[in-house]
Structures are given as structure tokens and as C-alpha cells.
Amino acid sequence: MHTPLATVPIELGDRSYPIQIGAGLLGDAATYRDLPSGRWGVIVTNQTVAPLYAERLVQALSARYARVLTVALPDGEVHKDWDTLNLIFDRLLEEGCDRKTVLFALGGGVIGDMTGFAAACYMRGVPFVQVPTTLLAQVDSSVGGKTAINHPRGKNMIGAFYQPLLVVADLDTLDTLPERELSAGLAEVIKYGPIADPEFLDWIEANLPALRARDKAALTHAVRRSCEIKAWVVGQDERESGLRAILNFGHTFGHAIEAGLGYGEWLHGEAVGCGMVMAAALSARLGLVPPAFVERLSRIVDAAGLPVAGPRQLSAAQYLDLMRVDKKSEAGEIRFVVIEALGRAGMRAAPDDVVAEVIEAHTAR
Amino acid sequence: MHTPLATVPIELGDRSYPIQIGAGLLGDAATYRDLPSGRWGVIVTNQTVAPLYAERLVQALSARYARVLTVALPDGEVHKDWDTLNLIFDRLLEEGCDRKTVLFALGGGVIGDMTGFAAACYMRGVPFVQVPTTLLAQVDSSVGGKTAINHPRGKNMIGAFYQPLLVVADLDTLDTLPERELSAGLAEVIKYGPIADPEFLDWIEANLPALRARDKAALTHAVRRSCEIKAWVVGQDERESGLRAILNFGHTFGHAIEAGLGYGEWLHGEAVGCGMVMAAALSARLGLVPPAFVERLSRIVDAAGLPVAGPRQLSAAQYLDLMRVDKKSEAGEIRFVVIEALGRAGMRAAPDDVVAEVIEAHTAR
């Protein structure tokens, strides 16, 4: 199939770009026909994804680039660091790649974040394309231009806002995605309901079985609607000064879980799934939403195959310490994304003891 | 003295900022009164500059920031690398510095480049202020938003375009500048003549003794006019896609000298001084300017206390290899900044043998 099932335009002035969503796009040379040509096209991927898709992408890109290189990084969030990023720079410099080199991020969110940051920094900026091969990356990192690596003291602490030229969301790549990662991606899909679109939450609730069975029509709608909502939010606040923070619903608690257990123990989407239940519970505890909403969201998160209770190893005090160094905190005050009404989110501070109660109530003991 | 002698506005839309030029500005709290307030102000400096000026800046900033921290990096171009950059990130994260933290680059070009890049990357971008304490940094890195670190395979290979909120060029700081570094700064001042302003070159030629004697009025004019010319060029081409490349007059040869000898052996300005003579000679060899211009520029560079011949250790073949990996090269073709007529520069390729002749003719053997 040669035409995308859907295209979501991301409008950011001279940094605008399209997201193409469909099956069979990755290996089709026509997908890349509007990209600038150059001498080098460099595919950055990981050792898990490379055997599955790298050769197909190399073939498709060979029409536009005299040299197509592949850099396969070790797989996993634990490698989202400077040393691994430097493997990209080393290769680009060894090959003499110039400023017109186009980088292609072939993989999940870690590959997208690292390749985007490498593109932002290499010779002070070269163009890049996202080819996300996980549901999480297709619905989340494909919009927003956030790129980063981790620091031992915090996730995504070193990075840049840097937009791709094009995003290619090939739904066929989801066929090889492990079940656990598909569920992790669904966490970010679910997120868009409570913060922006009650009808979408109804649709997700009804279509979770089809999504988990990887039905292409259901996936197309989920990816398109997620990207549209994120694009609408990001279009109003590209550099995360205000509104955009609502996209972090569930992420403040989630990041604490990821950091507290050590990155890679829980998948990002798993931590966000559980984090959304905690954030919903905090919203209810602050009198913003009825307790029934917490129960409903918890059921949906559970039905997506995600954890709804935090890990027993982490105490509420540990969460609070970890959340205080989160990028979203200001002068040590933690700012939580709360649901103010179904379909509308906002930012609030909350007393430590209330937050601790919420964490305790949603932790496996 | 509380008011700057001159202010050069840098117009870049919502990234515009002023350069304040004058004596006594650094330690005056009024200099910083328009900056956003925040909990943390972090001075990044080096171990040479810290004892001279850090305490004065801490005092001046204490009115606006509850906590003023100082991070003193090891001094020198050899430390312009990731490990040293990471000392900044480590400290910011240890202290829990948030996204409203303002970084202050107190030092020369290396400190400015590293602090700017740290600001560009920390939590995907925090504000920063340049307080350049060398002539080179005042006339060069204070305009243009270029930030970077070096990679073992090339200078400034990893970086970002990122604008400061304010530049404070305090001429008093030049009183403590070693003679060799003053001369290195004059290289970049001289540069602005041939590429953009023949009258300024006349003025420099007449005022080199006053500049080398650190006469404040002469320095004010040199810094102001240099910043104005650079601002005019950068304003038309912020991201170095075309015109801006003329600012690299002398730099292609110069970077080869720096990289070939090992960074830090020759000062950047020394390499640029000699590089300008080579680039002028190439321009003459291509029939663009008369040989008399090469002799005049060579006399001016010499009178500024700078080398006019390349180091004997480097062969023409080594220059060519090193220049081919320069950021300005495209697909292996070296693009030279040449003088097309006095006051006007352009980009040209040149045959390797012609370039080699020019290098040989201007190398100490």
C-alpha cells in the first residue's frame, strides 16, 4: 500500500511537518520523496529493531542518498546516556558526514529521543526523520520535538526541543511489538482522553480488545486521534511554558516510579499507567472529580494490561524526594497535572501529606 | 560608572537581546535589573577567572537570586569537552536547580560556548547571560548564539544555536588579560574590516597601538563596531545557511592549525590571524584581490602581535585532510571564505594544488 491511511499535519511555522500513518510506509521509497537530498542518510536504530526493519529502510532510502549508513545502538532505556549518544557522533565524524546529512530514527522512544538530540547537536543541527516502531513512540514522541538523554540524577535532564522533518508511523511495525510494549503504548493513548477528549476515552474503553489484537483500523484511529490532540496542545505551547504540561498527566508519579526502581525496570508506559491512576486519585482527593472516575480510569488502565498499583519497594517519602527534582517542579514545589473535569486538565500543587496518602492507597503492599 | 558606554541591540525577533559595553558593568547590580528573577543564579567560570571576578559578580547578583552558585571549571580549550560540561550538569542537579535557573558565563570563549551549550541542554533549555572577560569573547562569541563543545575528531562539532538574554562586555576585565590573549582577540576585530568595512580596517590600522595599550575609548569603538557588523550579518542568517559563513574568514585554515597542533597549542585568535593571511593569499591567487592587499593584511596581523606564518610541523596535505572534515565543507569539498573585494567576502572552492601552494608560501620552514 503506497498511500498513508491518514496524515496529521503538525503546524509550527517554519518547523511544520507531517505525520504519515499507515501500513507499508517504511519500506516504500515514495514515503521519503519530499525530503531534502544529501550525500548521507544515516539510520540510527537499536540491536533489536535493526534485524527486523533496517534493511527495508536502507533499500527505500538508497534512491535519495548516495551513502546510507546504519548505526545500531544497544537496546534499552539504560543506554539512553551520553556514552551511547556518542556512538552516533563517533560514526558520523568517522564517515565525514556533513551538515546536510539526514538522520533517521528507526525504533521506539529511546531511539527517537537520542537520534533527535544527536540531530539537534551534531554540527549544531542536522535534519532528522522519525520512523517510530512502537505504539508509544507513534502516539507520543512523534509530536512535540522533545529530545533528550538521561542523567544519573534524572530522566531526560539533558536535551533539546528539536522538530523532525517527517514522521512515518508504519502500523505494520506494531505486528512485531511484544505484548508488554503494546500495553505500554496504550497508556499514552488512554492519557489523551481524560486531559482533552471524553468521547475518545469512551472509544478507547470500547475498543481496547481490538487495539490489543492489533486491528489496523482501530490502531489508525488511536494513533491519529492521539497525534491530533497532542498537536493541538503543542501547537499552542511549543516550548512547554504552560498548557503543554498537561501532556504529563500521570508522568510526575510515573517518573518517580521509573527513577526509584532504576530506569528500565518498569516500562515508561507502565509507570505512566499507574501514575495516571495516582494523579486521578489526587484529583479526586482535591475534590475536582468524583471517586467513580478514579475507579473507571483504573479499570481502563487494567484492561490495557497495565499496572494500577505502585511497586511495593517505594515509599511515599521516596516518591516525594524524586518528584521534587522533576523538571516540572519549581523551586522545590511539585506541580501535579490534575483532571479538573473529564476532558480538561490543569496544574496544581498539593500538600505532601495528601500526596503521600494517595500514593499509599495505590501501592501494592 | 553605572551606564554602559554603548549598547548594541541584537535583533532576532523573540530572541533579541542587548550587548552592553562599558567599564564597571560586571559588579553593578543595575546591569542585571531587567533579567527574570528566579531562585538560582549560577555563575559558570574557570579557575583562572574565578579569583579575579567571581566574587564581584556574586555580590551583584545576590539582589536578584536567593542562591548564587559558582562552578569553576578547569581552564583551557583542552577542557572544552563532555566531561567538563557534565561538571555543570552535575552541580545543577545536585543543587536541584529548576528550569528558571539563570546561568552566567563568566570568562572567555570556551566558558561562553560551554555555558551556552549547558543552558541550551539543561532541562531542554534554561536562560543564560554572557559576561565575556576576553576581547575575543566580547567581539565574537557575544553575537551569534553559537555554543558547542569539541569532539576528539573536530572542534565545535557538538553544539547548538542558542541566544543569551544579555551580554555584559565590561572593558575593565581586559586590564587583567595577558598580552597574548589581547592580540588573539584583535584577530577577530581585524577580520571585520576585510569582510565588511574598509573604513574600519583603516581605523584599526591607525589604532592598533592604542588598542594594544588597552585605551578604553579605542576598545569601546573596536568592540562596538565588531558587534554591530557581526549583528548585521547574523541578523540576516541566524542559522548559518549562507551569508553568515563569511564570519569564518581565516577560520578554515585556522581550525586546521588548531586541530593539527592539538587544541590549545596556538590560541584560536592566533590561528585565525595566520589563517586570514592564508585566506587573503588564496583570494589573490584566485585573482580576486591584488597581492598588495595580502601584504597589507599581513602587516596589520603582525602589528597586532599575531603570527603570519603557519607552524612548520604541518604539511599542506595535513591542512587539506583536516579542512575536509570542517563543518563548512560539503560532501568533502572545502568551501573557503575569500575576499572578493575589500569589504566584501564570498565562498569559493579551490583546487587542492592551489591551496597547497598558498599554505606552503605562508608556512615557517
The active-site residue out of A251, A258, A270, A285 is A251
Q: What CA–CA distances, in Å, run from B210 to A141, A191, B205, B206, B215? A: 57, 66, 10, 9, 5
* Over residues A131-159, mean pLDDT: 93
* Over residues A46-70, mean pLDDT: 96
Model confidence at A251: pLDDT above 50: yes
Helix/strand/coil (H/E/C) assignment for every residue in chain B: CCCCCEEEEECCHHHCEEEEEECCCCCCHHHHCCCCCEEEEEEEEECCCHHHHHHHHHHHHCCCEEEEEEEEECCCHHHCCHHHHHHHHHHHHHCCCCCCCEEEEEECHHHHHHHHHHHHHECCCCCEEEEECCHHHHHHHCCCCEEEEEECCEEEEEEEECCCCEEEEEHHHHHHCCHHHHHHHHHHHHHHHHHHCHHHHHHHHHHHHHHHCCCHHHHHHHHHHHHHHHHHHHHHCCCCCCHHHHHHCCHHHHHHHHHHHCCCCCCHHHHHHHHHHHHHHHHHHCCCCCHHHHHHHHHHHHHCCCCCCECCCCCHHHHHHHHHCCCCCECCECCEEEEEECCEEEEECCCHHHHHHHHHHCECC
Cβ–Cβ below 8 Å for B160 and A325: no
A235 band by pLDDT with thresholds 50, 70 and 90: confident
Q: Is A109 annotated as a binding residue?
A: yes
| Chain A residues inside the 8 Å CB shell of B93 | 151, 153-154, 157, 325
Predicted pLDDT at B1: 45
The residue behind cell 581586559 is B174
Nearest to A89 among B124, B151, B331 (CB): B151
Q: Which residue has the higher pLDDT, A59 or B38?
A: A59
Predicted pLDDT at B328: 65
Cβ–Cβ below 8 Å for A125 and B90: no
A1 band by pLDDT with thresholds 50, 70 and 90: very low
Compute the distance between CA of residue B313 and CA of residue B309 in angstroms, rounded to an integer.
12
Cβ–Cβ below 8 Å for A146 and B124: yes
Question: Picking from A36-40, A181-185, A203-207, which range would have the lowest pLDDT averaged per residue?
Answer: A36-40
Predicted pLDDT at B357: 97
The chain-wide mean pLDDT, for chain A, equals 93
Q: Exposure of B132 by Cβ count < 10 A (0-12 exposed, 13-18 middle, 19+ buried)?
A: buried
- Taking the CB of residue B205, how many other CB atoms lie within 10 A of it? 16
Give the pLDDT means over successive 10-residue stretches in chain B (365 positions): 76 91 95 92 97 98 95 93 97 94 96 98 97 96 92 92 97 95 97 97 98 95 96 80 88 94 88 98 97 98 98 96 78 89 94 96 91
Predicted pLDDT at B327: 64
Residues B175-198: tens digit of each pLDDT: 999 999 999 999 999 999 999 999
First to last CA, chain A: 50
Nearest to B160 among A121, A154, A329 (CB): A121
A123 band by pLDDT with thresholds 50, 70 and 90: very high
> Angle, nearest 10°, between helix axes A316-324 and A251-261?
110
We find that the CATH architecture of domain A6-175 is: 3-Layer(aba) Sandwich (3.40)
User: What superfamily does domain B179-361 belong to in CATH?
Assistant: Dehydroquinate synthase-like - alpha domain (1.20.1090.10)
- Taking the CB of residue A3, how many other CB atoms lie within 10 A of it? 12
User: Does A124 participate in catalysis according to the annotation?
Assistant: yes
Residues A330-347: tens digit of each pLDDT: 667 899 999 999 999 999
Q: Which residues of B are annotated as a binding site for NAD(+)?
A: 75-80, 109-113, 133-134, 146, 155, 173-176
Predicted pLDDT at B4: 65
Q: Which CATH class is domain B6-176?
A: alpha beta
Buried (b) or exposed (e) across B322-333, using 16+ Cβ within 10 A?
bbbbbbbbeeee
Cβ–Cβ below 8 Å for A239 and B125: yes
B151 to chain A, any CB pair closer than 8 A? The answer is: yes
* Over residues A231-260, mean pLDDT: 87
Residues A5-19: tens digit of each pLDDT: 899 999 888 899 999
Domains of chain B: which residue ranges?
6-176, 179-361
Cβ–Cβ below 8 Å for B125 and A89: no
A237 to chain B, any CB pair closer than 8 A? The answer is: no
Q: How far is A297 from chain B (nearest CA, A)?
A: 30
First to last CA, chain B: 50
Q: Which residues of B are annotated as a binding site?
A: 75-80, 109-113, 133-134, 146, 155, 173-176, 188, 251, 268
* Over residues A146-157, mean pLDDT: 92
Q: Please state the ipTM of this predicted complex.
A: 0.86
| Chain B residues inside the 8 Å CB shell of A239 | 125
Nearest CA in chain A to B96: A325
Residues A266-311: tens digit of each pLDDT: 998 999 999 999 999 999 999 999 999 999 999 999 999 999 999 9
What percent of chain A has a predicted confidence (pLDDT) above 90?
Answer: 85
Q: Give the mutation candidate from A37, A98, A239, A244 for the B interface (greatest B CB count, under 10 A).
A: A98
Nearest-Å Rg of the Cα atoms of chain A is 20
